[in-house]
Amino acid sequence: MKECKCSSNEFITQLNSYDLYQVVDGKLKFQKSEIINEKTKFFCRECGTERKM
């Protein structure tokens, strides 16, 4: 694993899940976490280039 071509060595993950909430009796209630994309992708924090692991 090398640094990005822009010389950044920090990588962020794609947002690949979200939490589902419902309003129940006027209160916000957590339902579940759902995964949108099971493969985690990494992107350079500086320039946004996708990094293949």
Applying CB under 5 A, which residues contact Zn ion?
4, 6, 8, 44, 46-47, 49
Query: For residues 47 and 40, what is the distance between their CA atoms, to the nearest angstrom?
Result: 18
Of the pair 20, 47, the CB lying nearest Zn ion is at 47
Joined tokens for residue 36: 């949108």
d(CA 18, CA 5): 31
Judged by CB, which is closer to Zn ion: 14, or 17? Answer: 14
Give whichever of 6 and 20 is closer to Zn ion, judged by the CB atom: 6
> Which two structure tokens, joined as six digits, stand for 45?
């924090």
The least CB distance from residue 41 to Zn ion, in Å, is 14
